[in-house]
């Protein structure tokens, strides 16, 4: 099909994420993806600054991941997981358990489902049904997951009659990462790394809220250190440590949603590693298969599993062998590659490349942590206008709300990274104050 036909038929038949059935702005047809580059149907090549929503950490069309998929296809693409098992799932389960210290693994089919499973497990485990989370979070689009997304920007107003009512702490203050202009490059005030900059009043707020609701809480659920799709905000690991202490003190479970932060994105293997804590339940997804196939996981301690008993969930494509084989290959690749150095190099490149955006009148904040670079704008952005600008620079980004951000694949070369930061800086210069 030519580009025009693709676009027309797409608009006629297909829904896209968070979109009308026939949106005013058409989606761009992609015909290939290699390394960090997307090739559009009209021949344009774009450096992908999104890793397809944080997932393609090794880049596209990777020979090792292709080989793993091909090899597994020769054996079986899928078999049911009810009553059957197979080597790809067993290998992946063992590996994830070794990586996280959480022995029991439920292989789900998307991040949102992994969060649903975590919530179900927490409710079944404790016999209590409310959750505590922090404002500004994002945990997925299914109902249970949506109920712990930020109450204002998380679609609650559309579904208020059917969403369970959970307990929301204030948004964690301050930041974690680079703030241009700060003397140590790590922000001032409530931001910064180490114990410096911890907001004692916020610690008190968390303590007070947990104490007040402890009797009804099954779990505390948070995204460790980085709140992703809820606003791309970073927060101090001390708040995560406090939540761990409070969960222990009151016999509540701690669920870490590492779907966006897992597998090195923030500079540590998992966001929880910044705080040196282990959750009772962890959700993984996105980069788990290197962005190849849809698979996620919910992990927990043997103690939680024991108390849950029969976990009441079982999707048709649970434990899919093809996805499990690619996930295992992707994790081998991650183990082999110097991802810490790569992420550090990207962090340094983002700090340097985005420094120029910080002074623009339409920019509220510029922040960087690991391989995440964020330009927060004063006013909401027009996504298609921003996309036009970055595409002129040969870059693919997907801005939303007040955010123009990047999470590039780990093997992004300095030149390509500079292309991304140049495009973001060019956008910043056009933003209204």
Instruction: Supply the residues annotated as catalytic.
Output: 18, 138, 257, 286
* Binding status of residue 285 toward ligand PMP by CB under 6 A: yes
Sheet holding 363-369, edge to edge: 363-369, 372-377, 403-406
* Binding status of residue 262 toward ligand PMP by CB under 6 A: no
User: How far apart, in whole angstroms, are the C-alpha atoms of residue 321 and residue 179?
Assistant: 43
Q: Report in angstroms how near the CB of residue 393 gets to ligand PMP at its nearest.
A: 25
Among 36, 50, 115, 238, binds ligand PMP (CB under 6 A): 115
Segment contacting ligand PMP (CB under 6 A): 150-158, 214-222, 253-261, 372-380? 253-261
Question: What distance lies between CA 331 and its chain's CA centroid?
Answer: 17
* Binding status of residue 371 toward ligand PMP by CB under 6 A: no
Residue 200 and residue 209 in contact, taking contact as beta carbons nearer than 8 Å: no
* Binding status of residue 110 toward ligand PMP by CB under 6 A: yes
* Binding status of residue 290 toward ligand PMP by CB under 6 A: no
**Closer residue to ligand PMP (CB): 140 or 173:** 140
* Binding status of residue 259 toward ligand PMP by CB under 6 A: yes
Residue 233: CA count within 13 A, CB half-sphere:
20
User: How far apart, in whole angstroms, are the C-alpha atoms of residue 223 and residue 16?
Assistant: 25
Q: What is the CA radius of gyration of the chain?
A: 21
* Binding status of residue 150 toward ligand PMP by CB under 6 A: no
* Binding status of residue 297 toward ligand PMP by CB under 6 A: no
Strand, coil or helix: 281: strand
* Binding status of residue 223 toward ligand PMP by CB under 6 A: yes
Q: Report in angstroms how near the CB of residue 295 gets to ligand PMP at its nearest.
A: 9
Q: Report in angstroms how near the CB of residue 34 gets to ligand PMP at its nearest.
A: 24
* Binding status of residue 229 toward ligand PMP by CB under 6 A: yes
Q: Report in angstroms how near the CB of residue 44 gets to ligand PMP at its nearest.
A: 26
* Binding status of residue 271 toward ligand PMP by CB under 6 A: no
User: How far apart, in whole angstroms, are the C-alpha atoms of residue 252 and residue 415?
Assistant: 47
With CB atoms as reference, the residue minimizing the distance to ligand PMP is 111
Written as one string, the DSSP assignment of 284-320 is: E-GGGGTTSS--EEEEE-HHHHHHH-S-----TTTT-
User: How far apart, in whole angstroms, are the C-alpha atoms of residue 293 and residue 403?
Assistant: 27
**Closer residue to ligand PMP (CB): 126 or 298:** 298
* Binding status of residue 260 toward ligand PMP by CB under 6 A: yes
* Binding status of residue 109 toward ligand PMP by CB under 6 A: no
Q: In terms of Cα–Cα distance, which of 415, 383, 323 is closest to 78?
A: 323
User: How far apart, in whole angstroms, are the C-alpha atoms of residue 379 and residue 194?
Assistant: 32
Backbone angles phi, psi at 138, to 5 degrees: -145, 130
Segment contacting ligand PMP (CB under 6 A): 108-116, 236-244, 272-280, 414-422? 108-116
Among 106, 138, 202, 270, binds ligand PMP (CB under 6 A): 138
Question: What distance lies between CA 90 and its chain's CA centroid?
Answer: 25
Binding site for ligand PMP (CB under 6 A): 110-112, 115, 138-140, 223, 228-229, 257, 259-260, 285
């Amino acid at each position: 099909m030519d580009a025009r036909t693709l676009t027309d038929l797409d608009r006629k038949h297909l829904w896209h994420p968070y979109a009308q059935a026939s949106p005013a702005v058409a989606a761009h047809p992609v015909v290939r993806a290699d390394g960090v580059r997307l090739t559009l149907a009209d021949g344009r090549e774009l450096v992908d600054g999104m890793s397809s929503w944080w997932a393609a950490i090794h880049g596209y069309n990777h020979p090792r991941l292709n080989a793993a998929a091909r090899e597994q296809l020769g054996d079986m693409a899928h078999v049911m997981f009810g009553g059957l098992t197979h080597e790809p799932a067993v290998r992946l389960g063992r590996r994830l358990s070794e990586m996280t210290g959480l022995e029991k693994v439920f292989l789900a089919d998307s991040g949102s489902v992994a969060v649903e499973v975590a919530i179900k497990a927490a409710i079944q485990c404790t016999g209590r049904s409310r959750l505590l989370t922090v404002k500004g979070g994002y945990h997925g689009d299914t109902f249970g997951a949506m109920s712990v997304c930020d109450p204002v920007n998380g679609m609650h107003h559309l579904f208020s009659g059917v969403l369970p009512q959970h307990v929301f702490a204030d948004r964690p203050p301050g930041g974690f990462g680079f703030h241009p202009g700060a003397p140590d490059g790590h922000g001032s005030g409530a931001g910064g790394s180490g114990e410096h900059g911890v907001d004692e009043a916020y610690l008190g707020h968390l303590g007070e809220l947990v104490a007040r609701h402890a009797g009804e809480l099954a779990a505390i659920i948070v995204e460790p250190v980085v709140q992703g799709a809820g606003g791309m905000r970073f927060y101090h690991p001390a708040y995560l440590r406090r939540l761990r202490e409070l969960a222990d003190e009151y016999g509540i479970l701690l669920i870490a949603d590492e779907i966006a932060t897992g597998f090195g994105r923030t500079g540590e293997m998992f966001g929880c590693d910044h705080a040196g804590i282990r959750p009772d339940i962890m959700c993984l997804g996105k980069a788990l298969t290197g962005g190849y196939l849809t698979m996620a996981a919910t992990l927990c301690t043997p103690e939680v599993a024991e108390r849950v008993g029969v976990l009441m969930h079982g999707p048709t494509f649970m434990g899919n062998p093809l996805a499990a084989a690619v996930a295992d290959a992707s994790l081998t690749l991650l183990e082999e590659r110097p991802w810490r150095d790569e992420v550090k190099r990207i962090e340094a490149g983002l700090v340097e490349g985005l420094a120029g955006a910080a002074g623009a009148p339409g920019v509220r904040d510029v922040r960087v942590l690991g391989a995440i670079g964020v330009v927060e704008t004063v006013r909401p952005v027009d996504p298609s206008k921003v996309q036009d600008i970055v595409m002129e620079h040969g870059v693919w980004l997907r801005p939303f709300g007040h955010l123009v951000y990047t999470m590039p694949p780990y093997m992004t070369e300095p030149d390509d990274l500079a292309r991304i930061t140049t495009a973001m800086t060019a956008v910043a210069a056009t933003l209204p104050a």
